Amino acid sequence: MSDWNRIWEEYMEKRIGIDEQLLLKAQKMGGIKSEKELVEKALEEFIQRRNQAKILELAGTIEFQPNYDHKANRKSCLKIGSH
């Protein structure tokens, strides 16, 4: 590990005070070597889960029309655009 990475990790540990055992367990579980990479991955997954939750909140709010012909709608849009 470079001096810069070591300094960065020590700074981040002091700055946000993450439980060292929790970090080690997550690093081992994820096969991730650096704490910086681990935190970035955790944030990415957190954002992804929140976005998925937003999509799930839409369940049941969109009216499904089984007879809707999306191809016919597309054709009419193309005709309008060709003028």
DSSP the chain: --HHHHHHHHHHHHHH---HHHHHHHHHHHT---HHHHHHHHHHHHHHHHHHHHHHHTTTTSPP-TT--HHHHHHHHHHHHT-
**pLDDT-based confidence at residue 71 (cuts at 50, 70, 90):** confident
Can you give the residue ranges of every domain in the chain?
Answer: 3-81
**What are the tens digits of pLDDT across the range 36-65?**
899 899 999 999 999 999 988 888 887 878
> Residue 50 corresponds to which amino acid?
R
Contact 41, 30 (CB under 8 A): yes
The pTM of this model reads 0.54
